[in-house]
Amino acid sequence: MRLGLLSDVHATLPALDAVLAELDRMGVDRIVCLGDIVDLGPQPNEVVARLRERDIPCIRGNHDTLDEGPSLPMLAAVEDWTRERLAPEHASWLAALPERRWEALGDLRVLCVHGSPHGIAEGLLADTPSHRIEQWTDGLEWDVLVAGHTHVAFTRREGHRTLVNVGSAAQPFERALTIPPRVLPYCDFAVLEARPGGPDVRLCRIPQPMEEVRAAYRASGFPHCEQWLRTWD
């Protein structure tokens, strides 16, 4: 059995469709979305509609609440624009999403979160200390911990367990925690498979259809559109 994992779509339908097409081609058995479905992108309604149409289980990310009130004027304008544009039924759907999801993959217990098991805005990084992982998962029985949020993909062994960050399906960063980030023109996601020796994790990257993405931004009325698109330059 193979589980497709994606995160941080950020309201970008061409990126989401590219990832879903590749996961379909790979023949995964199930797909889970790890949050940050909307905000920072031009097509919040279209992305929510696609995930619901495909009946893809989702969890809530920090951007999906649309209540962060960013201090940067451009980000605040984008959050306001997204909140105003989002259909009420889609806003209600996002608000009802859980903050974690368990998946059984053979004998593997897979804990899916957006940021960390402790909070949707805490990031799982390649160098997150082991004691922090233990604090986050105290009392939880898991074999694989999967997250998004940081927009930087990695996998690492933590004793007999496995940590996975699937990166971002729409806005992968060159480095985590860099301001401003350098956004890469790819779509990142992961495939997790149960094997006799333990979990097999495949971090995947495909080209993002940037012409379609740029066209979607320009057609949407997205605030500060051209300035935003330069983050990919």
- How far are the Cα atoms of 9, 11, 13, 91, 209 from residue 50, in angstroms, in the given order? 11, 11, 8, 14, 17
User: Global pTM?
Assistant: 0.96
Task: Specify the number of domains making up the chain.
Answer: 1
User: First-to-last CA distance in the chain?
Assistant: 38
Instruction: Tell me if 146 sits within 8 A of 190, measured CB to CB.
Output: yes
Amino acid at 195: R
DSSP single-letter state for residue 232 = G
pLDDT tens for the chain, 233 residues long, are 899 999 999 999 999 999 999 999 999 999 999 999 999 999 999 999 999 999 999 999 999 999 988 888 999 999 999 999 999 999 999 999 999 999 999 899 999 999 999 999 999 999 999 999 999 999 999 999 999 999 999 999 999 999 999 999 999 999 887 778 899 999 999 999 998 888 999 999 999 999 999 999 999 999 999 999 999 87
Domain with 177 in it: what CATH number?
3.60.21.10
What is the extent of the structural domain holding 199? 2-232
Structure tokens at 35: 């949050």
